[in-house]
Amino acid sequence: MAQMTMIQAITDALSTELKNDEDVLVFGEDVGQNGGVFRATEGLQEEFGEERVFDTPLAESGIIGMSVGLSTQGFRPVPEIQFFGFVYEAMDAVSGQAARMRYRSGGRWHAPITIRSPFGGGVHTPELHADSLEGLMAQQPGLKVVIPSNPYDAKGLLISSIRENDPVIFLEHMKLYRSFREEVPEEEFTVDLGKANVKREGKDITLIAYGAMVHSSLKAAEELEKENIDAEVIDLRTVQPIDVDTIIESVMKTNRAVVVQEAQRQAGIAASIVSEIQERAILHLEAPVLRVTAPDTVYPFSQAEEVWLPNYEDIIEKAKQSINF
Amino acid sequence: MSFKSPLEGIDEKFEMIQILNEDGEIVNEDAMPDLSDEDLVEIMRRMVYTRVLDQRSIALNRQGRLGFYAPTAGQEASQIGSHFALEKEDFLLPAYRDVPQLIWHGLPLYQAFLFSRGHFHGNQMPEDVNAVSPQIIIGAQITQAAGVALGLKRRGKPNVAITYTGDGGASQGDFYEGINFAGAYQAPAIFVVQNNQFAISVPVEKQSAANTIAQKAAAVGVPGFLVDGMDVFAVYQVVKEARERAVNGDGPTLIETMTYRYGPHTMAGDDPTRYRSEDMNDKWEKRDPLVRFRKFLEGKDLWSEEKENEVIETAKEEIKAAIKKADGHDKQKVTDLISIMYEELPSNLKEQMEEYKEKESK
């Protein structure tokens, strides 16, 4: 075991898979000699060579389109989009092409591509770096969307994603890259895609979160405990497909739920979780399922992040609203 | 002082390459491709067959026995000539009008018809056919071709990726990105722009201020050639040379074939009389690739009316049999569509699979 930050766990997962499978290719803007703008690919080109880890021209559509082409030749591409706000440039290649490759060819071809990309607020980035766009991806049949909240999950989920034979969008929250360390096994291990994790058990209310909001939810749960409210916190880990079983089991126990996301209210995936709960467990609910989200504006100018981004206090407020309904 | 525009004289660098003129005469003996009599007859057979396929496809579409169809008449030299220069192991990324190349690359005719009708089996390329199904998103095939070519290079295979788009397609961002990536990696790709003068109703002059599409290759440091796309020899030879450069490690080539579609853009209600004149049609009909190649072959005593009729009859029979085979193919079920989404179904689709199995069993 070693103490790792999330970024180190990601590098470790990439290195593990580059070692395990000669068909794994890591590429993107500045991921080669430079080691990535966040050092996620540091040392990989040196260790595995330019044929395996390489820079690309600055063109997101080209990067993902090239990945689709490489897939037909038996490669397992792990491209990077430098910031997920740039995914618009590659939307056709991602949603119109990679996601549909198996279906459109009736299984003759497939696209075992893992698109890594940072996102997330709280670090005062310039425009279109921090936007939460997982909701766009979650609406595209053919994709899986993974968002780890800690170093252990990041390594296990990334290894699983790379081994997946269909495209995975792997979103890395920038604020979580180096915010804490935890024990991560040095040997290889996997965390199943599509499986949520109960981070804190509780009996009074279920808080469902992903990404940085997992930590805000855990902090809210600690504060709520002081007021004798016992919150269960679920980290989704995969936002498409959603682990409905874990959510419903929890809601049937607590009879109350709040879904927490950093994305705007009209975006993200909270609305679909609310739908799943009301379709499957309405008779178990003591209160409506509420949502903690950002306001429906464009992502804030960096100085306004603090007043705009949802935080643990917003979660406490909604939890109490549910309890007192 | 004033600087001289670098565009001055650029058109001279992209003069149209022609080998066979409209009268079926060889006008560029030095460039003549090395083709056996057998090859020559086979090329003509394929071009005639493809012309019949176009005529029959239009008729079948009008009868409602085919769905989406993009006419190909006029582009036989461009499509068949370029495809004839390839090897079976080369990888083909066609656009929606490039079904003939897919067929000659090995896609069974009935599957091409199923593609037209909208059935997934039409897109299930046989194992030995290195191709993806026709691309509807104009430009997407270009960036993918760069990836296929890089893949072939990394695998050390002596093969190329070839992809096609039209004159309108050369205005897309993905067109530029694809040829630029292939250039940056010196990947073995051949990019063919079939300039058939119109993108639906928009003439090529409205796409760009560039006088040729071939010269766009210069923007990415790749050789570009303008070819008479109604001349099967010129198309074949330029693609053949591009292929040789590519497999020798000398990178990609952009080829613009100057051609024309005699029919509408697609059979979905496009009416070319709204944007094309009779004069223009007459001018291009004089350049018909079949007419000039027929003259050439007849001059060498390699072709006759009898031979041509034989090809026409064979084509008609095979088309009839293929349509019948397509008719007999299983109808699609929702469970089929679910099963081809992922290798292993995610939880939502597992649930929906059960729902639809239940429905389909009733």
Q: What are phi and psi of B128, to 5 degrees?
A: -90, 5
Nearest-neighbour CA in chain A from B331: distance (Å):
14
| Sequential pLDDT tens for chain A (325 residues) | 899 999 999 999 999 999 999 999 999 999 999 999 999 999 999 999 999 999 999 999 999 999 999 999 999 999 999 999 999 999 999 999 999 999 999 999 999 999 999 999 999 999 999 999 999 999 999 999 999 999 999 999 999 999 999 999 999 999 999 999 999 999 999 999 999 999 999 999 999 999 999 999 999 999 999 999 999 999 999 999 999 999 999 999 999 999 999 999 999 999 999 999 999 999 999 999 999 999 999 999 999 999 999 999 999 999 999 999 9
Q: What is the mean pLDDT of residues B240-265?
A: 97
Given a cut of 90, whether residue B2 has pLDDT beyond it is no
Inter-chain touch A104–B148, beta carbons under 8 Å: no
Let me know whether B234 and B273 are in one domain.
yes
Q: How far apart are CA A72 and CA A88, in angstroms?
A: 24
Q: Which residue does chain A place closest to B162, by CA atoms?
A: A69
Question: Taking CB atoms and an 8 Å limit, are A241 and B145 in contact across chains?
Answer: no
B228 and B345 both lie in a single domain: no
- Residue B305 domain-assigned? yes
Instruction: Clarify whether residues B189 and B73 are in a common domain.
Output: yes
Contact A61, B177 (CB under 8 A): yes
Looking at the complex, does the CB of residue A75 fall below 8 Å from at least one CB of chain B?
yes
Q: Tens of pLDDT along B105-136?
A: 999 999 999 999 999 999 999 999 999 999 99
ipTM over 0.85: yes
Matching fold, domains A2-184 and A197-324: yes
| Residue B3 belongs to some domain of the structure | no
The CA distance from B49 to B114, in Å, is: 19
Instruction: Write the residue in B133, B154, B346 that is nearest to A105 by C-beta.
Output: B133
Q: Amino acid letter at B287?
A: R
Q: How far is B226 from chain A (nearest CA, A)?
A: 25
Q: Could you tell me if residue B346 is inside a domain?
A: yes
Q: What is the mean pLDDT of residues B142-152?
A: 98
CB pairs under 8 A between A and B: 131
- Judge: A57–B137 Cβ closer than 8 Å, yes or no: no
Instruction: Kindly list the catalytic residues of B.
Output: 261, 265, 275
A102 with B91: Cβ contact below 8 A: no
| Residue A130 dihedral angles phi and psi, to the nearest 5° | -105, -5
To the nearest whole Å, the CA of B199 is away from the closest chain A CA by 21
Which structural domain range is residue B353 located in? 332-362
- pLDDT averaged over every residue in chain B: 97
CB spacing of B143 vs A61 below 8 angstroms: yes
Strand residue runs (E) in chain B: 91-93, 161-166, 189-195, 198-199, 202-203, 224-228, 253-258
Q: Does A1 touch chain B (CB under 8 A)?
A: no
CB contact under 8 Å between A166 and B347, yes or no, is: no
- A244 contacts B174? CB cut-off 8 A: no
| B347 and B314 co-located in one domain | no
Q: At a CB cut-off of 8 Å and minimum separation 6, what does A14 contact?
A: A26, A40, A41, A44, A78, A158, A162
Query: Is the pLDDT confidence value at B328 over 90?
Result: yes
Q: Can you say whether residue A158 is alpha, beta or left, with left for phi > 0 and alpha for psi between -120 and 50 degrees? A: alpha
- Determine the residue of chain A that is closest to B347 in CA distance: A241
The reply to whether B151 falls in a domain is: yes
Q: Does A56 touch chain B (CB under 8 A)?
A: yes
Quote the CATH superfamily of domain A2-184.
Thiamin diphosphate (ThDP)-binding fold, Pyr/PP domains (3.40.50.970)
Q: Which residue of chain A is at minimal alpha-carbon distance from B187?
A: A66
B150 has a chain A CB within 8 A of its CB: yes
pLDDT at A266: 98
Instruction: Say which of B125, B150, B177 has its CB closest to residue A70.
Output: B150
Q: Specify if B6 maps to a domain.
A: no
The CATH number linked to B279 is: 3.40.50.970
Q: In sequence order, what are the beta bridge partners of B199?
A: B202
Q: What is the pLDDT of residue A253?
A: 98
Q: Which of B149, B192, B93, B320 is nearest to A101 (CA)?
A: B93
Determine the angle formed by the axes of helices B140-154 and B173-184, rounding to 10 degrees.
10
Sole residue written with tokens 């060819």: A105
Task: Name which of B125, B151, B184 is nearest A69 (Cβ-Cβ).
Answer: B151
* Active site members of A: 129
- What is d(CA B296, CA B303) in angstroms, rounded to the nearest whole number? 9
Residues B152 and B59 in one domain: yes
CB contact under 8 A, B147 and A56: no
* CB burial of residue B121 (10 Å; 0-12, 13-18, 19+): middle
Closest CA to A15 of A7, B331, A97, B242: A7
Structural domain includes residue B92:
yes
Is the same domain home to B226 and B347?
no
Judged by a CB distance cut-off of 8 A, whether residue A141 touches chain B is yes
Same domain, B291 and B359: no
- With CA atoms as reference, the chain A residue closest to B182 would be A66
B189-195: strand order across its sheet: B91-93, B161-166, B189-195, B253-258, B224-228
Residue B193 near residue B255, CB atoms below 8 Å: yes
Nearest CA in chain A to B93: A69
Task: Copy the structure tokens of residue B320.
Answer: 């009839």
Q: Are both B199 and B276 inside the same structural domain? A: yes
Q: How confident is the model at residue B46 (pLDDT cuts 50, 70, 90)?
A: very high
CATH 3.40.50.920 fits A197-324, yes or no: yes
- Asked whether the beta carbons of residue B123 and residue A106 sit closer than 8 angstroms, the reply is yes
Contacts of residue A240 in chain B, CB cutoff 8 Å?
A: 346
Number of other residues whose CB lies within 10 A of the CB of residue B174: 24
Supply the pLDDT for residue B1: 76
What's residue A103's pLDDT?
98
Question: Among B228, B240, B227, B191, which residue's Cα sits nearest to residue B33?
Answer: B240
- The reply to whether residue A57 touches residue B180, judged by beta carbons under 8 angstroms, is yes
The burial class, CB within 10 Å (0-12 / 13-18 / 19+), for B339 is middle
B360 and B285 both lie in a single domain: no
Nearest CA in chain A to B173: A61
Enter the tokens of residue B93. Answer: 């990324």
The bridge status of strand B161-166 relative to strand B189-195 is parallel
**Per the CB < 8 Å rule, is A102 touching B181?**
no
Distance CA B50, CA B122 (A): 18
- Contacts of B112 by beta carbon, 8 Å cutoff, 6+ apart: B99, B102, B103, B122, B322
Q: What number is the average pLDDT over the span B36-63? A: 97
Residue B33 pLDDT exceeds 80:
yes
Q: Which of B13, B11, B5, B113 is nearest to B56 (CA)?
A: B113
C-alpha–C-alpha distance, residues A318 and A205, integer Å: 11
Phi and psi of B205, rounded to 5°? -60, -25
Q: Which residues of B touch A243 (CB under 8 A)?
A: 347
d(CA B302, CA B297): 5
Predicted confidence (pLDDT) at residue B218 exceeds the cutoff of 80:
yes
**CB-CB neighbors (< 8 A) of A62 in chain B:** 143, 146, 174, 177-178, 180-181
Confidence of residue B12 (pLDDT cuts 50, 70, 90): very high
Are residues B357 and B319 both part of a single domain?
A: no
CB B122 within 8 Å of CB B112: yes
Q: Is B99 on the interface with A (CB under 8 A)?
A: no
In this structure, are B204 and B326 located in the same domain?
Answer: yes
User: Which residue reads 């992809």 in tokens?
Assistant: B163
Bridge-partner residues for A183, per DSSP?
A3
Number of domains making up chain B: 2
Chain B's closest residue to A61, CA to CA, is B174
Please check whether residue A122 is in contact with residue A179, taking contact to mean a CB–CB distance below 8 angstroms.
no
User: What pLDDT is recorded for position A118?
Assistant: 98
CB contact under 8 A, A104 and B346: no
Q: Is B180 on the interface with A (CB under 8 A)?
A: yes
Q: Is residue B5 part of a domain?
A: no
- Is the same domain home to B131 and B165? yes
**b/e code B30-43 from CB counts within 10 Å (16+ = b):** eeebebeeeebbeb
Domain ranges (residues) in chain A: 2-184, 197-324
